[in-house]
Amino acid sequence: MFPGADEYGVEVHIDDAAVDRLLAVGPDDVDEQRSSAHRTQSGDVDAPSSLSFSRNVFLPLTTACRYTCTYCTYYDVPGEATLMSLDEVRDVVQMGADAGCTEALFTFGDAPDERYTEIHRQLDEWGYDDILEYLVAACEVALDEGLLPHSNPGDLTREQFESLAPVNASMGVMLETTADVAAHAGNRRKTPGQRLNTIRAAGEEGVPFTTGILVGIGETWRDRAESLLAIRALHERYGHIQEVIVQNVVPNDRSDYERPSIETMRRVVSMARVALPEEISVQVPPNLSEAARLVDCGVDDLGGVSPVTDDYVNPEYAWPALQELADIAEESGVPLRERLPVYARYLPDEFRPSGIEAAPAPRNRETWIREPIADRLRGGDVHSERLRHVAHGDGPLSTPET
């Protein structure tokens, strides 16, 4: 049982033999001298047939977080933490919609605890009981201006998902690891059980979901294998995991974690590709990883890129321009396709491109997409038209099927 799992009643059992099989997975030595177009297979994994990405704006709704993970530069301490006003949210999403984005990526730490008195006072002054109620209002602004929200508000209960799901196309939280690592040490710490509980709650509520592992925070190879298999186990139960991010830690102002080597990343990505069913995308963030050297290990998604906002989670590492994504795809010999923040298989029939099979409906309703999101997709304005184009695979940077 994983640390903290008992407390949340999360039962995810991992077979030792499956871990051992995964530990044997890895890329063969790839002859870097060969033309990348001919590097179609690497050890135990196949290269993808295309690379996808979404065009987003990044909205750090608040930098307050109840935790203090040692590798994190995102959170600000009480007194310094910020809270975006809805006017600021509107300005950013309008800019994004004008620049052709489809996704409003709302990120903040876990709900601010009682130490953040100013954040709570401000929310109260604006008429909100808590940060999640405020997030709903911010998502409504994004929908109003023509973007589909994807929120990462930290750990949530099923009831909290229920209130956020109608205004989000998809949501996410990083599992990071199933291990108890010193990086999460301190009085206030998140636990693997808590994260697994959140991923389970998303599945129970039928929310298309993004999660991932963080590589290099003190976990072992066995921990990496177990983390990937735990994600798989929850997906097999609910069918809701759309992508798994394999993210390497990077040194920053607050810590000096060593960046994992490219050899380590190639092996972890290969393990992720083998561990996860084909329908789950494997993503690496190209501003933190040498993505072009990981594609042949099974990476098929490059995440969200923003033409108008910084990456506030890792501000020292600027997002590559869209052209750089095109260069990674070209170097890897595969086409680049733009996608929505919700993967195509979760879309209702009317928006799903032909050839993409629908994900079986979630257990508690007929469709994965709630009405406010479906209404935005079928609207009559230029924004809905753009969203439909991207949904159907003919967005601005997409290339025709070959």
Cβ count near 146 (within 10 Å)? 23
Q: Give me the amino acid identity at 369.
A: I
> Three-class SS of residue 43?
coil
CA distance 337 to 55: 11
Interaction of residue 351 with ligand SF4, rule CB under 6 A: no
Interaction of residue 255 with ligand SF4, rule CB under 6 A: no
Among candidates 294, 280, 313, 19, which has minimal Cα distance to 154? 313
The distance of closest approach from Cβ of residue 106 to ligand SF4 in the complex, given in angstroms and rounded to an integer, is 13
Q: State which residue, 7 or 236, has the beta carbon closest to ligand SF4.
A: 7
Please select the residue that binds ligand SF4; options are 39, 44, 67, 113, rule is CB under 6 A.
Answer: 67
The distance of closest approach from Cβ of residue 207 to ligand SF4 in the complex, given in angstroms and rounded to an integer, is 19
Does 297 appear as a known binding residue?
no
First to last CA, the chain: 46
The distance of closest approach from Cβ of residue 68 to ligand SF4 in the complex, given in angstroms and rounded to an integer, is 6
Q: Any idea what DSSP says for residue 315?
A: T
The distance of closest approach from Cβ of residue 131 to ligand SF4 in the complex, given in angstroms and rounded to an integer, is 13
Interaction of residue 131 with ligand SF4, rule CB under 6 A: no
H helix or E strand, kind and range, residue 107: strand 103-108
Transcribe 118-167 into DSSP letters: HHHHHHHHTT-SSHHHHHHHHHHHHHHHT-EEEEE-SS--HHHHHHHGGG
The distance of closest approach from Cβ of residue 286 to ligand SF4 in the complex, given in angstroms and rounded to an integer, is 20
Within 24-130, residue ranges assigned H as helices are 86-98, 117-125
The distance of closest approach from Cβ of residue 190 to ligand SF4 in the complex, given in angstroms and rounded to an integer, is 6
- Choose the stretch contacting ligand SF4; rule: CB under 6 A; options: 70-78, 94-102, 288-296, 330-338: 70-78
Q: How many residues does the chain have?
A: 402
Interaction of residue 8 with ligand SF4, rule CB under 6 A: no
Is 193 in contact with 2 (CB distance < 8 Å)? yes
Interaction of residue 70 with ligand SF4, rule CB under 6 A: no
Please select the residue that binds ligand SF4; options are 19, 45, 69, 272, rule is CB under 6 A.
Answer: 69
Classify strands 41-42 and 45-46 as parallel, antiparallel or unpaired.
antiparallel
- Choose the stretch contacting ligand SF4; rule: CB under 6 A; options: 18-26, 49-57, 64-72, 352-360: 64-72
Cβ count near 23 (within 10 Å)? 14
Is 311 in contact with 287 (CB distance < 8 Å)? yes
Interaction of residue 65 with ligand SF4, rule CB under 6 A: yes
CA distance 274 to 233: 14
| Residue window 162-201: x/- pattern of binding to ligand SF4, with contact defined by CB under 6 A | ----------------------------x-----------
Does 139 appear as a known binding residue?
no
The distance of closest approach from Cβ of residue 177 to ligand SF4 in the complex, given in angstroms and rounded to an integer, is 12
Q: State which residue, 118 or 324, has the beta carbon closest to ligand SF4.
A: 118
Interaction of residue 312 with ligand SF4, rule CB under 6 A: no
Interaction of residue 74 with ligand SF4, rule CB under 6 A: yes
Interaction of residue 58 with ligand SF4, rule CB under 6 A: no
Phi-psi sector, 198: left (phi>0), alpha (psi -120 to 50), beta = alpha
Residue for token pair 């799903």 = 352
Q: State which residue, 58 or 74, has the beta carbon closest to ligand SF4.
A: 74
Interaction of residue 30 with ligand SF4, rule CB under 6 A: no
Cβ count near 365 (within 10 Å)? 12
Interaction of residue 224 with ligand SF4, rule CB under 6 A: no
Interaction of residue 81 with ligand SF4, rule CB under 6 A: no
The distance of closest approach from Cβ of residue 236 to ligand SF4 in the complex, given in angstroms and rounded to an integer, is 27
Burial zone of 331 (CB within 10 Å; 0-12 exposed, 13-18 middle, 19+ buried)? middle
Please select the residue that binds ligand SF4; options are 75, 257, 343, 346, rule is CB under 6 A.
Answer: 75
Binding site for ligand SF4 (CB under 6 A): 65, 67-69, 72, 74-75, 109-110, 190
Instruction: Specify binding-site residues for [4Fe-4S] cluster.
Output: 65, 69, 72
